[in-house]
């Protein structure tokens, strides 16, 4: 089932007649602040349908103050779960209300399963295969999966989308992306960190016959501020850290977060932030006595705090939360979750063609309002874990892809400027 984003065609409008356009509903005569108060209480799916009713309602729904008001009142409290699937053919995006997973389904006495709805991707011909860089403040950032050169910013509910300008490319480059929104500057930014071999130092010396076993790597940090008529990439110079090759949308306190690899005089890995306001990298204190390896961690925002998920042996995981940002002593282990095999995985032993997310048995998606932790198991099933009872429950959905990557998305009418190019 697809989600409708467009108004009725001309033929449908003629069949409906002009009465719908001419009939007054009373909404048009209300003061602006009252209309905003009413509309800001609606989920984005209802707002999109509201704007399709008639021209006058479309104008009311196009108020520039509505996106921020709706995000503050409704969207943040009732986000959506977006599923990205690249199996079996073209990439697809589908969604379901996250509150559908948060209902007390009787822990085994579930009601009718929620139905996933597909987004009609307007850029599918130009970028059929993509990776989700991140979701932030109502928008998705998507990158071409094959060459990592094409980038799109996309509001899946309104259909607004824009291809971003091309950035500087390097031969044999490895790219790390970041996507975030700073509430103070009110700017969306895309960060690209490129690592590439330096051809001038590819050999051990001028007369060397053998090339270096490990080529000397160069780096460059590029930033694109979205909005405006002619956005352009800006270079911030070399990257001060060797960032692990994972895109980031973990925004806490106006900063993106990654894990950086060992440096010349430091053998341990570090937590690194990039301030979206002053565009500076800084180290963030990590949990005391916790080992962060190349593939056994996950950074995320949990209840507005920076959290680190540490994946242990035999499918176990720990969730550490920094309760006061940038205070090392505030790190605390809040959850220790054991291994679990969902029924859907027990019934099928087929190989997993979807791109591996670190090869883990499970991945933390988010925390639910009920206090449960939502887990994605082997990109094929969703499970909710209740820390108080120590119990798991399988999540049943209609139309869920066979293989997927799930992420939390705040649904809104937001866009990078007031006149999107669609």
pLDDT over threshold 90, residue 344: no
398 and 113 Cβ atoms separated by less than 8 Å: yes
pLDDT-derived band at 355, boundaries 50, 70, 90: very low
Cβ–Cβ < 8 Å for 277, 182: yes
What's the rounded mean pLDDT across residues 283-310? 86
Residue 114 has pLDDT above 50, yes or no: yes
Grade residue 305 by pLDDT with cuts at 50, 70 and 90. Answer: very high
pLDDT mean over 284-300: 81
d(CA 44, CA 74): 9
pTM: 0.86
- Is the pLDDT higher at 72 or at 256? 256
DSSP code of 138? T
Amino acid 149: pLDDT: 82
What is the DSSP pairing of strand 381-386 with strand 391-395?
Answer: antiparallel
Lowest mean pLDDT among 79-93, 299-313, 318-332: 79-93
Q: Which two tokens stand for residue 255?
A: 């900063």
Stretch 6-18: mean pLDDT, rounded?
52
The answer to which of 127-136, 210-219, 223-232, 356-365 has the lowest mean pLDDT is 210-219
pLDDT score, position 16: 45
The mean pLDDT value for 171-182 works out to 91
Q: Which residues partner with 290 through β-bridges?
A: none
Tell me the percentage of the chain whose pLDDT exceeds 70.
80
What order do you get walking across the sheet with 174-182 strand by strand?
Answer: 174-182, 187-197, 217-225, 233-235
What is the predicted pLDDT for the residue at 200? 64
The first and second tokens of residue 271, run together, are 């937590």
Per-residue pLDDT tens over the stretch 215-259? 568 999 999 999 877 789 999 999 999 888 878 889 999 999 999
Residue among 116, 120, 128 nearest 91 (CA): 128
Range picked from 97-106, 299-308, 358-367 for highest mean pLDDT: 299-308
Say if residues 337 and 361 touch (Cβ distance below 8 Å).
no
Q: Euclidean distance between the first and final Cα of the chain, in Å?
A: 23
Share of the chain above pLDDT 90, in %: 48
> From CA 308, how far away is CA 339, in angstroms rounded?
18
pLDDT value of position 105: 47
- Please tell me the distance from the alpha carbon of residue 315 to that of residue 295, in angstroms, as a whole number: 13
Helical residues (DSSP H) of 131-183, grouped into ranges: none
The first and second tokens of residue 323, run together, are: 């309760």
Quick one: three-class SS letters along 37-63?
Answer: HHHCCCCHHHHHHHHCCCHHHHHHHCC
């Amino acid at each position: 089932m697809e989600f409708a984003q467009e108004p009725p065609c001309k033929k449908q409008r003629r069949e409906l007649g002009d009465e719908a356009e001419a009939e007054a509903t009373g909404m048009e005569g209300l003061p602006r602040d009252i209309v905003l108060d009413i509309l800001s209480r609606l989920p984005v799916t209802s707002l999109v349908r509201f704007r399709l009713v008639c021209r006058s309602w479309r104008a009311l729904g196009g108020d520039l103050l509505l996106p921020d008001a709706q995000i503050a009142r409704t969207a943040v409290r009732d986000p959506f779960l977006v599923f990205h699937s690249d199996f079996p053919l073209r990439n697809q995006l589908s969604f379901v209300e996250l509150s559908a997973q948060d209902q007390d389904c009787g822990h085994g006495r579930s009601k009718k399963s929620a139905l996933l709805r597909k987004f009609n991707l307007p850029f599918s011909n130009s970028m059929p295969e993509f990776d989700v860089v991140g979701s932030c403040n109502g928008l998705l950032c998507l990158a071409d999966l094959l060459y990592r050169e094409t980038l799109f910013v996309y509001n899946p509910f309104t259909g607004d989308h824009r291809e971003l300008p091309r950035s500087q490319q390097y031969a044999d480059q490895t790219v790390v992306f970041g996507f975030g929104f700073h509430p103070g500057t009110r700017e969306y930014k895309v960060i690209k960190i490129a690592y590439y071999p330096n051809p001038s130092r590819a050999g051990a010396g001028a007369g060397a016959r053998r090339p270096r076993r490990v080529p000397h790597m160069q780096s460059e940090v590029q930033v694109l501020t979205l909005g405006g008529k002619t956005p352009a990439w800006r270079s911030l110079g070399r990257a001060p850290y060797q960032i692990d090759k994972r895109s980031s949308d973990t925004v806490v306190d106006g900063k993106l977060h990654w894990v950086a690899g060992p440096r010349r005089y430091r053998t341990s890995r570090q937590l690194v932030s990039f301030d979206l306001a002053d565009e500076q990298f800084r180290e963030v204190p990590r949990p005391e006595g916790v080992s962060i390896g190349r593939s056994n961690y996950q950074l995320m925002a949990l209840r507005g705090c920076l959290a680190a998920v540490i994946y242990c042996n035999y499918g176990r995981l720990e969730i550490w939360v920094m309760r006061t940002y940038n205070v090392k002593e505030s790190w605390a282990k809040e959850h220790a979750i054991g291994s679990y095999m969902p029924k859907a995985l027990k019934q099928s032993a087929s190989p997993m063609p979807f791109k591996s997310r670190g090869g883990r048995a499970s991945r933390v998606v988010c925390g639910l309002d009920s206090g449960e932790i939502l887990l994605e198991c082997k990109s094929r099933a969703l499970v909710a874990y209740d820390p108080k009872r120590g119990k798991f429950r399988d999540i049943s959905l209609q139309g869920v892809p066979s293989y997927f990557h799930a992420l939390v998305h705040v649904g809104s009418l937001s866009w990078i400027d007031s006149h999107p190019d669609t």
